[in-house]
Structure 1
């Protein structure tokens, strides 16, 4: 039996089997048009959570057309289950052109990906980093406003808090990786390792953020009376983080 690249990943058995079949169908359908097929995200980093995380694919095609997209749609209708999201279909040229627009996304993908088929384009990919610090700072600041807004949207009910924290910490972690990269710190590793790296990198305590990650991973679940305390601790951690980032900006370190 041949060894598949995804055999090295820690995926639930049923998810592994479904994903293996999905990849097989993609390869069969696009063998003549395929430049590369690449897995990226939590499954590669070792952060995959059954029932929460997604399997993310980048499919690089020589030339895109309506028949190719229709073929991909049929494959996804058949096998797009078990947390497999619709793949990103693009050409190598489109990938290269978009690097200046999405430097964080491409940087994270370059740092943590698994080549499943074809030729890996990342060693030769140039990603401009000039505005990465500003981008991360702006997006992190927006999380403060969003977390407040979502509580109001949830009618300030305690049962709304878990989803607010999980959504926020999920979107925040890539920004923290980008921030560490700008500060010449390692942005590789699991989500928990990233949060545990913040105190030394930023002189900042990230307990409120770490608690939200543990909640996401099902390792923490306060009672209903404690949810507002969890929310306040998380929001306070965000506010302190933005203040610390602004200090670094003033000092010219960001």
Structure 2
């Protein structure tokens, strides 16, 4: 059960996952048909301090016993910033790409298969399903961020954290919006934010400033946090209206 493509991974990622995946394979044997890394661990934005290493393990079939046997290994991995991997089957992927188009496109376009068949490259997603999930995510995020702001009661640190977490969770959605316009997604998150702002007429400085402060783990500076929140909310409202016209 030899691993492959390890040379394409950053050193810190390769060192963390090689033994982990080998142990996973020793536990499950031939039931595993593919293992792939996906997400920020493969991109320019990877940070040893903050980035998780996301893994998809694709089985021929999955039963409760497979979950049970994996628990100890998963617990060890979490301590190394390897979250619980996605346990999938090929039929599940094929029947669920219409429900989770953003998530599966992210995996398709940014992954490295390190064991077995390259199943993720074969994922197919329709434009209409992608548009529907982008709309659902943005409008849902708009409702949740309003609600969260009300619950903060003016707590500035809480509002700052809310802005950073909200924006980071929307970056895959912004990539989906760019795909809908036929625009190739940039390789870095900051460039994705800039291209989204340019394409849809948003105030890009708001997105970029929040993102940069998140990456540097600093306080948002230069403006009152309430003003930042107001501007951010305005951009989301604008995107929620625009997406109906795509």
Could you state the TM-score of these two structures normalised by the residue count of structure 1? 0.85
Q: Distance in 1 between the 2:234 and 2:129 partners?
A: 22
Aligned to 1:10: 10
Q: CA deviation at 1:101?
A: 0.9
Aligned to 1:239: 234
Query: What are the residue-to-residue correspondences of 1:97-176 with 2, within 5 Å?
Result: 97-176=95-174
Aligned to 1:86: 84
Q: Distance in 2 between the 1:42 and 1:185 partners?
A: 20
Q: Distance in 1 between the 2:111 and 2:169 partners?
A: 19
> Are residue 54 (structure 1) and residue 42 (structure 2) matched?
no
Q: Distance in 2 between the 1:241 and 1:76 partners?
A: 36
Q: What is the RMSD of the two structures over their aligned residues, measured on CA atoms? A: 2.4
> What residue ranges of structure 1 are gaps of 5+ in the alignment?
none
> What residue ranges of structure 2 are gaps of 5+ in the alignment?
none
Aligned to 1:249: 244
Could you state the TM-score of these two structures normalised by the residue count of structure 2? 0.88
Aligned to 1:189: 187
- Preserved CA contact (<8 Å) 1:37 1:58: yes
Aligned positions, number: 245
Q: Distance in 1 between the 2:173 and 2:90 partners?
A: 25
- Preserved CA contact (<8 Å) 2:34 2:59: yes
Q: Distance in 2 between the 1:77 and 1:215 partners?
A: 31
Q: Distance in 1 between the 2:130 and 2:229 partners?
A: 24
